[in-house]
Structure 1
Amino acid sequence: MEFDANIEHLQQAYWHILLVSGPVLGVALMVGLVVGIVQAATSINEQTLSFVPKLAIAMLTMALASGFMLTVMTDYFQTIFESIRAIR
C-alpha cells in the first residue's frame, strides 16, 4: 500500500468522524450557548442547569440522527473492508 493511499484513508476517516459527530456536537454547542446566555442574563450560576439540557438534547439528537450515523458508518466500513480485500 502506497503512502498516498494511506493519506486518502486517513482523510476519509477524519471526514466520516466529522459527519457522524458533527450534528450532536453542533446541537450541544448551540444549547450550551443559549443556556449560557440565559444564565448570564438571569445571574443564575447553577451547574446542573447547563449540564442537564445539553445532555437531554444531545441524547435526543443522537436518537434522531442515529439512522444517518449508522448509514455513514456502514458505508465507510464497507469501503474499508473492500480496500482490505483488494490488497491481496
Structure 2
Amino acid sequence: MTLTLLGEAITLMIKLALVLIVPSLIAGLIIAVIQAVTQVNEQTLSFLPKLIVILITIGLTGTWVMRELVTFSTHILEHISTLST
C-alpha cells in the first residue's frame, strides 16, 4: 500500500509540474526563435513573457490543480490507518 501511495504521489507531482513547465518551455522556445531571427540577444526579454504565460496557466488550471491535490490528500487521509511503519 505504501508503494502504491508513493507511486501515486510521484505521478501527481510530475503531472502538476508539467502543467507549468510545458507552457513556459514553449514560450521560451518561441522567444528564442524570435530573438534568433531578429538577432536581439537580450537575456531579460524572455523573462516577462514567460512570467505572463505562467500566470495565465495558473489562472486557467488552478482549480484543476487544487482539485487534484485535495483528492490525493483525502485519499491519503482515508488510508492512513492502513499504513504500517
Please report the TM-score for the alignment, with normalisation by the length of structure 1: 0.87
Hey, what's the Cα distance between the residues in 2 that align with 1:77 and 1:55? 29
What does 1:1-88 correspond to in 2, within 5 Å? 5-87=1-83
Q: 1:29 to 1:44 in 2, by over 3 A?
A: same
The alpha carbon displacement at 1:6 in A equals: 2.2
Long gaps (5+) in structure 2: none
- Aligned residues: percent identity? 27
Poorly superposed stretches of 4+, deviation over 3 Å: 85-88
Aligned residue pair count: 84
RMSD after superposition: 1.4
Hey, what's the Cα distance between the residues in 2 that align with 1:87 and 1:41? 57
The alpha carbon displacement at 1:87 in A equals: 4.3
The alpha carbon displacement at 1:19 in A equals: 2.0
Preserved CA contact (<8 Å) 2:2 2:83: no
Question: Which segment is superposed worse, 18-27 or 74-83?
Answer: 18-27
Q: 1:83 to 1:73 in 2, by over 3 A?
A: same
